């Protein structure tokens, strides 16, 4: 069976903050607030779903869980302790188990941090920039900013050694400040950042035309400024998910992010009660694929409705079919298209934003593509220089070793030698430059393109 990722809406829309731009503040299962019901995944659902899922992915040897909300830590630490216990109990070796948690970090204490480190959770923290920027949008129900509480949680995670990424919503509060945002994330030690434009619609209303709190021109200018701050003279130091995925298109490997992939994602979104949807922008009754409490997982995965959703990007809008940037853009997200009276659809709401970025950055994306190819040739060439030779000798005077053991003979490349990548430059000025190896793009192997 192929790999299958599952995203849990762990507590549905429940959250201890009340960010005005949240696209999941309302759901089919009620909103948040004192008059709303409490939403939690039941023990019965975990006991049913996790064993079935672990059996389904056994042949792929990878189990991938993502825990979102709302605020998933509201489910409590005992809930997640039960999750990892069930995962371990039903994992069939060899099995790699991946857990990702998207949180506002305000409830993270030392016990949470120790748990997340012990079980190697990848943690994404929602932080929109420096205090005055973040607190303009991310407030609690009393109107209080959350920045200090968020960063206190980030500090606890850092002390525990937890891998932490940042998620930034781009809206009127920060769209004019791309350079400042990048400086903030670098200063705070975030190595990976994802930027998403601020939506003005709810997940339960996929039929509503796309609406955002920023214009395509604003977002395009933001991407251009952000790219300039990210590029760092061809040696990016902070991973920006959008640029990494566009670079994947330039290099010719499959995109990790569905927006710029050939097709819509094939993961499953599981609500707190077991209802399953194909995407968290389509949590609406017509897109419901079934319930993990009622329908076998294999039937949900193989359902015609899910197959139809995976093909949801097709047919492409006519402007996309004729666009010079289609090979790298892949037409964006179908949720961002507006239906037309003739039955066709407009391109992605942010089509012009992406075109602004490509016109500005195409040459530098191509340069990075060539540098990545050089780096791969370099690593392959250096590997060939490590000459294998047999070990001969005696073991405790008993004669020749019964089996020769291979070793690697280290062959150094001189600083002034031609670079093994074939660029024609000196090693010290090319792949042997310390600055070159500091960029995450040129680590062996390049993780973005593995």
Chain centroid, CA 213 distance in Å: 23
Q: At a CB cut-off of 8 Å and minimum separation 6, what does 165 contact?
A: 122, 123, 124, 125, 190, 191, 192, 193, 194
How far apart, in Å, are the Cα atoms of 135 and each of 10, 40, 112, 194, 239?
25, 28, 24, 19, 24
Instruction: List the one residue out of 225, 259, 233 whose CA is nearest residue 244.
Output: 259
Q: At a CB cut-off of 8 Å and minimum separation 6, what does 406 contact?
A: 388, 389, 390, 391
Catalytic residues: 280
Instruction: List the one residue out of 148, 258, 216, 212 whose CA is nearest residue 355.
Output: 216
3-state secondary structure the chain: CCCCEEEEECCCCCCCCCCCCCCCCCCCCCCCCCCCCCCCCCHHHHHHHHHHHHHHCCCCCEEEEEEECCCHHHHCHHHHHHHHHHHHHHCCCCCEEEEEEEECCCCCCHHHHHHHHHCCCEEEEECCCCHHHHCCCCECCCCCECHHHHHHHHHHHHHHCCCEEEEEEECCCCCCCHHHHHHHHHHCCCCEEEEEECECCCCCCCCCCCCECCCHHHHHHHHHHHHHHHHHHHCCCCEEHHHHHHHHHHHCCCCCCHHHCCCCCCCEEECCCCEEECCCCCCCHHHCCEECCCCCHHHHHCCHHHHHHHCCCCCCCHHHHCCCCHHHHCCCCHHHCCECCCCCECCCCCHHHHHHHHHHHHHHHHHHHHHHHHHHHHHHHHHHHCEEEECCCECCCCCECCCCCEEEECCCCCCCCECCCCCCCEHHHCCCCHHHHHCHHHCCCCHHHC
- What is the C-alpha to C-alpha distance for residues 312 and 299, in angstroms, rounded to an integer? 20
């Amino acid at each position: 069976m192929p790999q299958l990722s599952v995203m849990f809406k762990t507590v549905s829309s429940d959250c201890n903050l009340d960010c005005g731009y949240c696209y999941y503040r309302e759901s089919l299962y009620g909103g948040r607030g004192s008059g709303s019901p409490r939403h939690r995944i039941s023990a019965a659902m975990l006991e049913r779903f996790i064993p079935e899922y672990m059996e389904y992915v056994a042949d792929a040897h990878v189990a991938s869980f993502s825990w979102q909300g709302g605020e998933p830590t509201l489910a409590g630490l005992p809930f997640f302790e039960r999750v990892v216990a069930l995962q371990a109990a039903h994992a069939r070796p060899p099995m790699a188990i991946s857990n990702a948690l998207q949180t506002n970090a305000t409830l993270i204490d030392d016990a949470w941090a120790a748990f997340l480190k012990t079980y190697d959770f990848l943690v994404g923290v929602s932080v929109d920039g420096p205090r005055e920027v973040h607190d303009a949008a991310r407030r609690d129900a009393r109107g209080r900013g959350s920045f200090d509480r968020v960063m206190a949680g980030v500090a606890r995670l850092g002390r525990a050694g937890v891998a932490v990424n940042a998620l930034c919503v781009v809206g009127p509060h920060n769209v004019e400040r791309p350079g400042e945002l990048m400086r903030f994330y670098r200063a705070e030690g975030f190595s990976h950042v994802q930027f998403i434009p601020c939506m003005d619609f709810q997940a339960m209303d996929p039929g509503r035309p796309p609406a955002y709190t920023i214009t395509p021109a604003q977002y395009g200018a933001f991407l251009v400024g952000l790219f300039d701050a990210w590029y760092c003279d061809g040696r990016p130091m902070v991973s920006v998910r959008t640029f990494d995925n566009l670079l994947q298109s330039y290099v010719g490997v499959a995109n990790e992010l569905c927006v710029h992939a050939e097709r819509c994602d094939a993961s499953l979104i599981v609500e707190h009660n077991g209802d399953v949807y194909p995407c968290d922008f389509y949590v609406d009754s017509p897109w419901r694929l079934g319930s993990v409490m009622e329908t076998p997982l294999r039937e949900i995965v193989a359902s015609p409705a899910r197959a139809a959703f995976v093909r949801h990007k097709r047919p492409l809008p006519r402007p996309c079919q004729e666009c010079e940037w289609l090979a790298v853009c892949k037409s964006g997200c179908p949720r961002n298209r507006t239906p037309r009276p003739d039955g066709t659809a407009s391109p992605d709401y942010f089509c012009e934003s992406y075109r602004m970025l490509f016109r500005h950055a195409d040459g530098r994306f191509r340069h990075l593509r060539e540098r990545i190819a050089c780096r791969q040739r370099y690593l392959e060439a250096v590997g060939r220089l490590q000459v294998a030779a047999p070990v001969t000798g005696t073991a405790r005077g008993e004669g020749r070793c019964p089996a020769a053991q291979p070793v690697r003979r280290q062959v150094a490349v001189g600083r002034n030698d031609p670079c093994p990548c074939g660029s024609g430059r000196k090693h010290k000025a090319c792949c042997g430059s310390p600055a070159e190896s500091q960029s995450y793009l040129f680590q062996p192997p390049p993780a973005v393109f593995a």
